[in-house]
Amino acid sequence: MTFKNRLLAGLVLSALTLAPGVALAWSPPQEPAAPQAAARPRVNINVQPEGPLPAEREADAAYNAAMRAAGTGGFAALQEHVPALTEAMRGAPARYPAMEEIPGGWLIRADDREEIMALAGAVGDIEAGRGGGDIKVVSRPNVYPNIAFLLGSAAVERRDFAAAHEVLDRGLALQPLDRFLLNEKLVVLHAERKWEEAYLLAKTALTSGDPQIEADPGSLQRRLGYTLIELGRLHEARVAYEESLVSDPGNATAIAELQVIRDLEAGHQLSGDGIQITSPYMPVQPAPRAD
């Protein structure tokens, strides 16, 4: 998801989220059963979208105001909301997981249908192991990681990488596998030419088994591919970009970078410093390359 698309998603979120009371029937993946083996339990997940908790409403309002401003005025408009977002982030709790069990069911913190479905599927796997049944899931906005993402993006745009690290690490402390925060963290590490650290971060995330990352791994795979090019590991970079095209067919950046790999293998040299600064959520063109 690009930054522009995420802005648009935030503006039309009510049209994208599941309607209240939608029943999601979840059946775990079936394996070949032995003769007369019992069928796996069935789980019926009832997803009920709700607004932010009262304690989070002011922070959520600050986030949505910043999203609207950025949607019309870009990063310049977003910078004007940094003080309000910073103040809102101070109210973040010490614990804020993407999904957690609550009395009577589960809570999912997510902001679009794909994220909700991925996490609901993970709930389904857990509940199937408990015998299945009817499960209530409440989805609420992922307020504080969203705010950390916007603050990190604003800091990257200012090239204030120390500030970017600080706020992104704060968000990742709440949700270590939030793919938006991870992508923005990789932007900073690329700008600082910390390729080994970037490789470890991307590889760890992609092999974590996190349901949201597995549902949409393309951007992280492209970040991994770029990192591997800079490390001179071209075969692995090719694999990463090709895998990204499975989830994002026709992605222009992946296609362009695969051509870069072919050029390097043919003995051509890259020009420029090779640093990607622009947020991965902006609609970007591949970094300039030359033979």
140 vs 146: CA distance, rounded Å: 12
- Based on the fold, state whether residues 233 and 119 are members of the same structural domain: no
- Tens of pLDDT, residue by residue over 30-42, are 555 555 556 678 8
CATH number reported for the structural domain that contains residue 250 in this entry: 1.25.40
**Element spanning 46, H or E:** strand 43-49
- Based on the fold, state whether residues 108 and 241 are members of the same structural domain: no
Measure Cα distances from 154 to 118, 176, 202, 291 in Å: 28, 20, 22, 33
Specify if 221 maps to a domain.
yes
Which tokens hold the place of 115? 């994220």
Domain boundary among 145, 175, 205: 175
- Based on the fold, state whether residues 63 and 141 are members of the same structural domain: yes
pLDDT on residue 31: 56
pLDDT on residue 15: 30
| Domain span at 107 | 1-25+41-175
17 vs 87: CA distance, rounded Å: 28
- Tens of pLDDT, residue by residue over 72-97, are 999 999 999 999 999 999 999 999 99
Q: How confident is the model at residue 26 (pLDDT cuts 50, 70, 90)?
A: very low
Residues composing the chain: 291
- Based on the fold, state whether residues 202 and 154 are members of the same structural domain: no
Specify if 182 maps to a domain.
no
Specify if 2 maps to a domain.
yes
Specify if 185 maps to a domain.
no
- Based on the fold, state whether residues 270 and 211 are members of the same structural domain: yes
204 vs 213: CA distance, rounded Å: 11
83 vs 129: CA distance, rounded Å: 46
264 vs 98: CA distance, rounded Å: 40
Specify if 83 maps to a domain.
yes
Predicted confidence (pLDDT) at residue 136 exceeds the cutoff of 80: yes
Specify if 35 maps to a domain.
no
Average pLDDT over residues 170-182: 97
- Based on the fold, state whether residues 15 and 136 are members of the same structural domain: yes
What pTM value is reported for the model? Answer: 0.81
Share of the chain residues as helix, strand and coil, in percent rounded to the nearest 5: 55, 10, 35
